[in-house]
Amino acid sequence: MVHVGIGYDVHQLVAGRKLVLGGVEIPHTQGLEGHSDADVLLHAVCDALLGALGEGDIGHFFPNTDPRWRDAPSRIFLEAVAQKVTERQSRIVNVDATVIAQAPKIYPHIAAMKKCIAGALNLAETRIGIKATTNEQLGFIGREEGIAAMAVAGIDRP
């Protein structure tokens, strides 16, 4: 039976940090603030997969109070979540995600993001969907103060 989970994450943009989205470093004047690399896309995908497993969120497994995760690449979180799926005798069917950012433009980086996520999940790139949109200059995202991502994931579970 296929179980579906949803995930959402948001982080503030700040000076002095690299911008990492979908495991890919993207040239930009600011990066996302967070305990790890603050990759909102990978965090949302982790939460979607964990939700499909009926588990807690990413913070339950990788708390921002644990110094081991300081500046950690979020790909390790995604790989660990994929391992949880396997341990539960389950299989990831697909992942679909949307990045919400006024700037920078995300489209030129989507292929690399799909490759990174597919690699971390041991999944064909054709099973990964990534889209990008702006917030039409509305709210904190529209003012370029932060970036958000949402994701859904399907898992075939016994």
Residues 79, 61: contact at Cβ < 8 Å? no
Query: What is the residue-level pLDDT of the chain in tens, covering all 158 positions?
Result: 999 999 999 999 999 999 999 999 999 999 999 999 999 999 999 999 999 999 999 999 998 898 888 889 999 999 999 999 999 999 999 999 999 999 999 999 999 999 999 999 999 999 999 999 999 999 999 999 999 999 999 999 98
Structure tokens at 49: 């997969």
Structure tokens at 51: 């939700």
- Which residue range(s) make up the domain with 65? 2-156
Residues in the chain, overall count: 158
For the beta carbon of residue 103, count every other beta carbon within 10 angstroms: 13
User: pTM above the 0.95 mark?
Assistant: yes
Dump pLDDT digits (tens) for 123-158: 999 999 999 999 999 999 999 999 999 999 999 998
Number of domain units in the chain: 1
Taking alpha carbons only, the member of 11, 157, 1 closest to residue 84 is: 157
CATH of the domain at 52: 3.30.1330.50
